[in-house]
């Protein structure tokens, strides 16, 4: 069978089943079963699916996924996140659009500590949107920064998605995590600049209001007690990796213990919070791992049928410039991002895109980061970006999906601008991993 | 009838018990890795079994938690088609999807049982820091898929939707 038939059957069936509404993990398994019967010798092929899953799951490189998820859930359920938000809120002072800045600053911190875009958006949405609406902020300025900063969790380490992408692309997990630091900070600075221009051009979108003044001493106290310790956990996490005390996979568990120790110091670590955190982390872990179970065979069948090499030969046969190829790949991710969740997109595209990027002699860390940014945009693109629905769930009544779609647009533009910058100046992504070696 | 009710209660206890064990294993994994790193950096020889325990945990945790996730309607799915269907058609398509889920899980449970049985009869070992009888780990796979199939079937028989509610409006 020609490679394109294999490709058509694999992708057609997988994407078709997902679009119909079959749970993503089951869609992968169903595709694997059909492909195993067609291409891998029937029953033996299905046995191979099981054995591949066994091998793929018992892999130490996957440890950061449950650990980072647990870390974020602990940070949220113990109330440490709210504590940091309140501190930043008081520290911000009386600037136009202060609540939008609080969202970006607090959201960046939460993204760094949680590694979960959906958790970040849910927290920011329920905390900040009602307050901003009450203060007369325009609905677009109330909703937009939340989706923007929610997506930051994809690139700012620790990020569970980055670990998974690095595993799929067979690149260094630590390098990809560290590569996200500078672009993440650049992106949150862009958001700050956007809000500044926004409030300058349309001052009515963020009416000023009197804020209780906070003395310098109080401010210093807030920084020392409620902000610095939270960031120490990130420093501990990244520092342990860079100093060589722990591997990137182990650093995730250290971050978890760090958050637990912090919560214990603040006397907010209860059994209830711990149980809720385990519950939340377990849900996403099980979901992600079931998809990984299926994906091991999916990429093997892609290779076995010649679909991977055929697609790469076909794509490179056009002799497009590497930049044009990169844009095509990014376009595919952005298109899929309108309909699919990040995990499924990654598992469908990584087995093809990474070998293709290697053929084109791209720096794979640089490429991985661009892919992550593409995935981040997919969180907020209509009609089915996951964050749109998370925000809809926590936004006040009367907020329509159209409001949410429009509010996210300027922030999507910022991510696209960042991607352009990274393409033009690769050291934005590659400098930090290089010096950390 | 009474026996059936007890059986159902027992089954629920097993399902939620498995999820509790999965949560416990996740916390244990964190503790074990932390201890391993601390011991290593203090210059002590830590156990290689820590590593093996963690790797097996990565397979066992999702296997134990998967049936519970079906019960909790925690599976992600794409709403694009279902959202636009009329209620009657939506119900029909959802039932068809449910039947597919049962079939897929049952097929995988069947073949995974074969793999586990073969591992047991052939005395297969998974060689890591210790020679682990492979069936002791691979056995979680058929258990998980069989219970997932049962859970999907349970929703189908009761006429309930096994997918999380669709967002209200576009």
Q: What is the ipTM of this complex?
A: 0.91
Q: How many CB pairs under 8 A join A and B?
A: 174
**Residue of B156, B31, B40 lying closest to B98 (CA atoms):** B156
pLDDT averages per 10-residue partition of chain A, 437 residues:
77 85 87 86 85 83 80 83 79 81 82 69 75 84 88 81 85 87 92 93 83 82 84 78 77 87 90 91 85 76 75 77 90 82 80 89 94 90 75 74 87 94 94 82
Band of the pLDDT at B169, cuts 50, 70, 90? very low
CA angle, residues A405, A367, A19, in degrees to nearest 5: 45
A218 touching chain B per CB within 8 A = no
B34 in A contact zone (CB under 8 Å):
yes
Choose, out of B25, B58, B67, the residue to mutate when testing the contact with A (most A CBs < 10 Å). Answer: B58
Report whether B114 contacts A46 (CB < 8 A): no
Q: Is the dihedral of CA A399, A401, A407, A412 positive or negative?
A: positive
> Among partner residues B30, B31, B115, which is closest to A51 by beta-carbon distance?
B115
**What is the predicted pLDDT for the residue at A186?**
94
pLDDT at B150: 96
Torsion sign across C-alpha atoms B43, B48, B54, B55? positive
Interface test with A, best of B50, B56, B80 (most A CBs within 10 A): B80
pLDDT of residue A115: 64
User: Could you give the CA distance from residue A379 to residue A147 in angstroms, rounded to a whole number?
Assistant: 8
**Cβ contacts (< 8 Å) between B75 and chain A: which residues?**
23-26, 287
Q: How far apart are CA A370 and CA A376, in angstroms?
A: 10
Buried-state track A200-225, b at ≥16 Cβ within 10 A, e below 16: eeeeebbeeeeeeeeeeeeeeebeee
Alpha-carbon distance values, A336 to A159, A378, B40, B65 (Å): 21, 8, 44, 29
Tell me the pTM: 0.80
B100: which chain A residues are within 8 Å (Cβ-Cβ)? 17, 22, 26, 30
Longest dimension (CA), chain A: 75
B62 to A279: CB separation less than 8 angstroms, yes or no: no
Q: Is B138 on the interface with A (CB under 8 A)?
A: yes
Q: Which residues of A touch B151 (CB under 8 A)?
A: none
Closest CA in chain A for residue B112: A50
**CA A350 to CA A371: how far, in whole Å?**
9
For residue B121, with 0-12 CB atoms within 10 Å meaning exposed, 13-18 middle and 19 or more buried, which class applies?
Answer: exposed
Query: Testing the interface with A: which of B33, B92, B133 to mutate, by most A Cβ within 10 A?
Result: B33
* Closest residue in chain A to residue B134, using alpha carbons only: A54
pLDDT exceeding 90 applies to what percent of chain B?
56
Confirm if A164 and A425 have CB atoms less than 8 A apart: no
- The tens digit of pLDDT for each residue in B14-39 reads 999 999 999 999 999 999 999 999 99
Helices A139-152/A401-424 angle, 10° precision = 50
Name the residue facing B30 among A257, A393, A400 (closest C-beta). A257
Residues in B 101-130 with any Cβ partner in A closer than 8 A: 101, 104-105, 107-108, 111-112, 114-115
Alpha-carbon torsion B144, B146, B147, B148, what sign?
positive
pLDDT in tens, B95-144: 999 999 999 999 999 999 999 999 999 988 888 778 889 999 999 999 99
User: Which of the two residues, A142 and B46, has the higher pLDDT score?
Assistant: A142
Q: Which residues of A381-412 are buried (b: 16+ CB within 10 A; e: fewer)?
A: bbebbbbbbbbbebbeeebebebbbebbebbb
- Residue A156: name the closest of A72, A274, A66, A263 by CA: A72
A120 or B4, which is more confident? B4
Contact A19 B51 (CB under 8 A): no
Verify whether the Cβ–Cβ distance B100 to A30 is below 8 Å: yes
Nearest neighbour of B104 by CB, restricted to A33, A63, A293 = A33
Any idea what DSSP says for residue B147?
Answer: H
Residue A289 near residue B61 (C-beta atoms within 8 A) = yes
User: Which residues, numbered 93 to 132 in chain A, qualify as contacts with chain B under a Cβ-Cβ cut-off of 8 Å?
Assistant: none
User: Quick one: closest CA in B to A44, which residue?
Assistant: B111
Task: Give the A window 219-278 contacts with B, CB below 8 Å.
Answer: 240, 245-246, 250, 253-254, 256-257, 275, 278
The A residues from 325 to 344 touching B (CB cutoff 8 Å) are 339-341, 343
Residue B167 has pLDDT above 60, yes or no: no
């Amino acid at each position: 069978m020609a490679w394109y038939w294999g490709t058509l059957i694999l992708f057609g069936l997988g994407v078709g089943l997902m679009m119909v509404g079959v749970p993503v993990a089951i869609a992968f398994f169903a595709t694997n079963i059909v492909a195993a019967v067609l291409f891998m010798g029937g029953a033996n092929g299905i046995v191979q699916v099981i054995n591949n899953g066994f091998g793929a799951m018992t892999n130490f490189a996957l440890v950061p996924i449950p650990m980072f998820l647990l870390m974020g859930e602990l940070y949220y359920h113990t109330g440490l996140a709210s504590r940091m938000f309140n501190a930043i809120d008081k520290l911000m002072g009386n600037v136009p659009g202060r609540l939008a800045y609080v969202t970006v600053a607090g959201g960046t911190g939460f993204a760094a500590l949680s590694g979960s875009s959906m958790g970040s958006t849910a927290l920011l949405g329920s905390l900040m949107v009602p307050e901003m609406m009450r203060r007369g902020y325009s609905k677009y300025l109330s909703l937009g920064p939340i989706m923007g900063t929610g997506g930051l969790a994809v690139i700012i380490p620790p990020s569970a998605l980055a670990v998974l992408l690095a595993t799929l692309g067979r690149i260094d997990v630590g390098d990809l995590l560290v590569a996200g630091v500078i672009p993440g900070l650049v992106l949150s600075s862009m958001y700050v600049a956007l809000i500044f221009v926004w409030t300058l051009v349309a001052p009515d979108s963020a009416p000023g209001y009197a804020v209780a003044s906070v003395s310098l001493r109080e401010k210093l106290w807030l920084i020392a007690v409620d902000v610095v310790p939270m960031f120490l956990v990130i420093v501990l996490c990244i520092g342990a990796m860079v100093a060589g005390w722990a591997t990137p996979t182990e650093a995730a568990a250290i971050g978890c213990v760090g958050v637990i120790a912090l919560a214990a110091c603040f006397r907010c670590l209860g059994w209830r919070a711990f149980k809720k955190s385990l519950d939340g982390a377990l849900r996403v872990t099980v979901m992600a791992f079931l998809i990984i179970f299926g994906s091991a065979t999916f990429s093997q069948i892609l290779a076995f049928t010649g679909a991977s090499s055929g697609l790469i030969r076909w794509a490179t046969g056009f002799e497009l410039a590497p930049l044009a190829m990169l844009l095509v790949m990014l376009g595919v991710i952005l298109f899929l991002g309108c309909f699919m969740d990040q995990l499924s997109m990654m598992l469908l595209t990584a087995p093809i895109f990474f070998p293709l990027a290697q053929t084109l002699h791209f720096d794979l860390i640089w490429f991985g980061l661009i892919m992550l940014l593409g995935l981040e945009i997919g969180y907020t693109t209509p009609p089915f970006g996951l964050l749109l629905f998370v925000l809809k769930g926590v936004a006040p009544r009367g907020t329509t999906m159209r409001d949410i779609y429009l509010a996210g647009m300027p922030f999507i533009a910022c991510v696209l601008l960042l991607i352009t910058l990274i393409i033009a100046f690769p050291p934005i992504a590659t400098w930090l991993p290089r010096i950390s070696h | 009838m009474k026996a059936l009710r007890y059986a159902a209660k027992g089954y629920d206890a097993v399902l939620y018990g498995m999820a509790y064990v999965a949560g416990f294993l996740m916390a244990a994994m964190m503790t074990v890795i932390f201890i391993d790193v601390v011991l290593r950096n203090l210059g002590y020889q830590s156990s290689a079994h820590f590593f093996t325990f963690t790797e097996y945990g990565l397979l066992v945790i999702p296997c134990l938690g998967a049936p519970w996730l079906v019960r909790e309607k925690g599976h992600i799915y794409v709403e694009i088609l279902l959202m636009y269907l009329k209620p009657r058609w939506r119900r029909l398509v959802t039932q068809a999807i449910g039947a597919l889920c049962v079939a897929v899980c049952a097929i995988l449970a069947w073949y995974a049982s074969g793999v586990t049985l073969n591992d047991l009869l052939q005395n297969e070992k998974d060689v890591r820091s210790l020679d682990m009888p492979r069936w002791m780990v691979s056995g979680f796979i058929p258990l998980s898929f069989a219970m997932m199939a049962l859970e999907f079937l349970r929703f189908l028989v009761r006429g309930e939707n096994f997918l999380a509610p669709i967002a209200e409006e576009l």
